[in-house]
């Protein structure tokens, strides 16, 4: 399965989605719990196992999950779990204390259902570019089918019941991963973050909660689920992302108007380093890939495939290095392998 993911040209990393230069990906996630069990944080290992087995036996009846693989997290080693985390298919919480936890995942990686994470089910659909509505339609179909097969915890006054109160209501988190280098370079990003916080949106880094905005990536998502309909949440995110996108485009125009030579120089230098490095850390590689991506969007650098570039942001991560090399690598060995991959993928 992991080798197939590494060579997957149909995943959300293919860079073919709308506005994929600025909006790296869109994701809709739903949290659901079964009425017949306590929340995962309050059940024993044997009860978690019962939930996991119930889902494993039932999910093949869900048409939307046809062809998906079922994975028990305890059967994976640490590198495999971190590989799934780097591909945005599981959360950080899902790769620790793994007994009784599972994952349903589609071959194209667009669909992932975590079992016994913070909630009994965490269903997500992720897509390349700005495609929030399509993600919502797909995950809504999956949710409808689960709801016909299981007794889902729901109260008319509160909506869907979840482990975290902020998810109660619709249980829906809508997010977009945005690449915003011009807002960072023009020092406008802090004002954007303040604005988003005031209107109940939250921002995270490339790998979700608790991570830094490496490579100038910011994941923007709704903070409130209760009191809003699913359509309102999706529409609100769409409107906010469009505003931030417009701000980024304006900042890019300012950079080209005032600092064109400097931006061109930085973009070409980034490409030169990536094509010729022999040792490079993931942090440094992300910074150069970010500048290269900006150079491509501004028309400075041509003839580089967007899908290849987008995938490199993920493929250069530590667990990916070790899956590709099929070895447990020390830090310097990973830096060497990362440099080799960058040279190969970005060669003239």
Domains in the chain, please, with CATH? Answer: 2-248 (3.30.590.10), 258-345 (no CATH)
Query: Given its phi and psi angles, is residue 97 left (phi above 0), alpha (psi -120 to 50 degrees) or beta?
Result: left
Q: For residues 174 and 168, which has the higher predicted lDDT (pLDDT)?
A: 174
Closest CA to 27 of 287, 160, 207: 207
**Exposed / middle / buried, residue 175 (Cβ in 10 Å: 0-12, 13-18, 19+):** buried
- Distances, alpha carbon 83 to alpha carbons 146, 224, 233, 289, in Å: 27, 30, 30, 20
Mean pLDDT of 306-335: 90
* Local structure of residue 152 (DSSP, 8 states): B
Confidence at residue 11, expressed as pLDDT on a 0 to 100 scale: 80
Question: Cα(93)–Cα(227) distance, rounded to whole angstroms?
Answer: 27
pLDDT tens across 248-307, in order?
Answer: 999 999 999 999 999 999 999 999 999 999 999 999 999 999 999 999 999 999 989 988
pLDDT of 14 = 84
CA–CA separation, 226 vs 149, rounded Å? 25
Mean pLDDT of 185-207: 90
Higher pLDDT, 30 or 158: 30
The pLDDT of residue 226: 80
Residue showing tokens 């028990």 = 72
pLDDT of residue 136 exceeding 90? yes
**Which are the contacts of 100, defined by CB distance < 8 A and separation ≥ 6?**
40, 45, 48, 49, 51, 52, 74, 116
pLDDT band at 207 (very low <50, low <70, confident <90, very high): low
Q: Is the per-residue pLDDT at 208 higher than 60?
A: no
pLDDT band at 212 (very low <50, low <70, confident <90, very high): low
Helix H or strand E encompassing 75: none
Of the listed ranges 100-109, 264-273, 315-324, the least confidently predicted one is 315-324
Torsion of CA 292, 193, 89, 49, to 10 degrees: 160
At residue 153, the 3 state secondary structure works out as coil
Dist CA 143 CA 148 (whole Å) = 9
Residue 210: its pLDDT value, please?
Answer: 47
CA angle 228, 231, 234 (to 5 degrees): 95
Q: Is residue 208 classed exposed, middle or buried when 0-12, 13-18 and 19+ CB atoms within 10 A define those classes? A: middle
**pLDDT value, residue 72:** 97
Going from the C-alpha of 294 to that of each of 235, 239, 249, 252, the distances in angstroms are 27, 23, 11, 9
Mean per-residue pLDDT over the chain, rounded: 92
As given in the structure block, the two tokens for residue 22 are: 């600025």
Rg of the chain taking only CA atoms, in angstroms: 21
Which range among 10-19, 70-79, 320-329 shows the weakest confidence by mean pLDDT?
Answer: 10-19
Is residue 2's pLDDT more than 80?
A: no
End-to-end CA distance of the chain: 31
Identify the CA nearest to 207 among candidates 142, 283, 271. 283
Per-residue confidence band for 213, with pLDDT thresholds at 50, 70 and 90: low
Element (H, E) at 72: strand 69-72
pLDDT at residue number 3: 76
Measured distance CA(31)–CA(266) in Å, rounded = 43
């Amino acid at each position: 399965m992991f080798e197939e993911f590494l060579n997957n040209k149909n995943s959300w990393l293919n860079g073919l989605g709308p506005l994929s230069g600025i909006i790296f990906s869109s994701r809709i996630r739903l949290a659901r719990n079964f009425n017949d069990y306590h929340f995962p944080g309050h059940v024993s290992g044997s009860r978690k196992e019962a939930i996991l087995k119930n889902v494993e036996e039932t999910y093949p009846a869900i048409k939307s999950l046809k062809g998906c693989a079922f994975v028990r997290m305890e059967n994976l080693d640490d590198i495999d779990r971190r590989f799934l985390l780097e591909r945005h298919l599981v959360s950080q919480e899902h790769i620790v204390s793994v007994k009784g936890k599972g994952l349903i995942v589609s071959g194209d990686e667009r669909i992932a259902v975590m079992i016994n994470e913070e909630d009994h089910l965490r269903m997500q659909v992720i897509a390349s570019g700005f495609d929030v509505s399509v993600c919502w339609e797909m995950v809504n179909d999956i949710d409808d089918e689960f709801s016909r097969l299981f007794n889902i915890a729901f109260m008319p006054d509160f909506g869907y019941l979840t482990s975290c109160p902020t998810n109660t209501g619709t249980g829906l988190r809508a997010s977009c991963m945005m690449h915003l280098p011009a807002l960072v370079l023009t020092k406008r990003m802090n004002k954007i973050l303040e604005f988003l916080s005031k209107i109940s949106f939250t921002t995270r880094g490339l790998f979700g909660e608790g991570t830094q905005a490496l490579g100038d990536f910011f994941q923007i998502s709704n903070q409130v689920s209760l009191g809003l309909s699913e359509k309102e949440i999706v529409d609100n995110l769409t409107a906010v992302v469009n505003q931030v996108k417009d701000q980024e485009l304006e900042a890019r125009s300012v950079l080209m108007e005032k600092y064109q030579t400097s931006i061109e120089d930085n973009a070409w230098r980034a490409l030169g380093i990536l094509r010729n490095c022999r040792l490079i850390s993931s942090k440094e590689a992300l910074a150069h890939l970010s500048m290269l991506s900006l150079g491509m969007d501004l028309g400075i650098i041509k003839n580089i495939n967007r899908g290849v570039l987008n995938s490199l942001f993920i493929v250069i991560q530590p667990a990916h290095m070790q899956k590709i090399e099929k070895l447990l690598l020390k830090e310097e060995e990973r830096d060497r392998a990362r440099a080799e991959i960058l040279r190969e993928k970005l060669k003239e």
